[in-house]
Structure formats: C-alpha cells, structure tokens
C-alpha cells in the first residue's frame, strides 16, 4: 500500500525513475480499487446503462489517470527509454505486448540521463 501512496504523492511527477516494484504494486492496488469501485457501483445501482461500471468507477478512473501516466513514464525512464515510448501502446496488440515487456525489464544499472537508480545500486 505504501507504494501506491508514494505514487499518489508524486501525482504529476513525470521526471525521474520508478523501479519495477513501485510500478507493479501501484498497478496491483489500482486494479483492486477499480474492482471495488465497480462492485460499489453495482451495489449502489449507479451503473451507467448496461455497462459494468458507473459514476464511482468513472470518478476514480478520472482521478487516477495522471498518476498512472506519470508512474508509467518514470518506469520507462528507469530502463533508459523516453516517456514517449508509452505511445507504442497505440499500435494494436503488438504495441501493448512490447510495452508490457518494457515494464517488466530490470532497471538500468547506475545512473542514466533520467537520474540515479532508485534501487541505490551503482554499477
């Protein structure tokens, strides 16, 4: 949970680096909160039409979009890639797979152009 809160504290910080642990724990808790929001929408009957989500989910998703993009860009910086690589996801199927591969890669050792290694390991 502390990793999730750490990302929220850096709400719109697109500079620097984010290690794998930070990114994936944020992803996990974000996924859990989105499911909870969908369940709440169904229980409170605030769903939009026949969609599986409603106002609670929509507000949460809107609030979390900037931190999600920021941590994704910082994750790309950690492996030495520009944040613009996030746009590769626009390529159908192959882009999303390639982006997933990039997110899973280990940190670039030592310092790179985006800052020091967040693991604190110098090579």
Q: Is residue 27 part of a domain?
A: yes
What pLDDT score does 50 carry?
A: 80
Q: Could you tell me which residues come within 8 angstroms of residue 100 by beta carbon, excluding any fewer than 6 positions away? A: none
| pTM assigned to the model | 0.88
DSSP 9-54: HTTT--SS---HHHHHHHHHHHHHHHHHHHHHHHHTT-B-TTSS-B
Q: Is residue 122 part of a domain?
A: no
Q: Is residue 117 part of a domain?
A: no
**At residue 88, does pLDDT exceed 80?**
yes
**At residue 121, does pLDDT exceed 90?**
no
Q: Is residue 115 part of a domain?
A: no
The predicted-structure confidence for 69-86, as pLDDT tens digits, reads as follows 999 999 999 999 999 999
Q: Is residue 111 part of a domain?
A: no
- How many domains are there within the chain? 1
Q: Is residue 7 part of a domain?
A: yes
Question: What's the domain range around 89?
Answer: 2-104
| Cα–Cα distance measured from residue 73 to residue 12, given in angstroms and rounded to the nearest whole number | 11
């Amino acid at each position: 949970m502390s990793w999730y809160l750490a990302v929220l504290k850096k709400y719109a910080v697109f500079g620097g680096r984010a290690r794998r642990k930070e990114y994936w724990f944020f992803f996990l808790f974000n996924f859990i909160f989105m499911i909870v929001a969908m369940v709440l929408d169904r229980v409170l009957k605030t769903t939009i039409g026949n969609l599986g989500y409603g106002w609670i989910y929509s507000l949460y998703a809107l609030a979390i979009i900037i931190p999600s993009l920021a941590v994704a860009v910082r994750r790309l910086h950690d492996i030495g890639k520009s944040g613009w690589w996030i746009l590769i996801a626009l390529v159908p199927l192959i882009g999303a797979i390639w982006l997933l591969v990039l997110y899973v890669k280990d940190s670039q050792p030592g310092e790179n152009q985006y800052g020091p290694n967040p693991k604190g390991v110098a090579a």
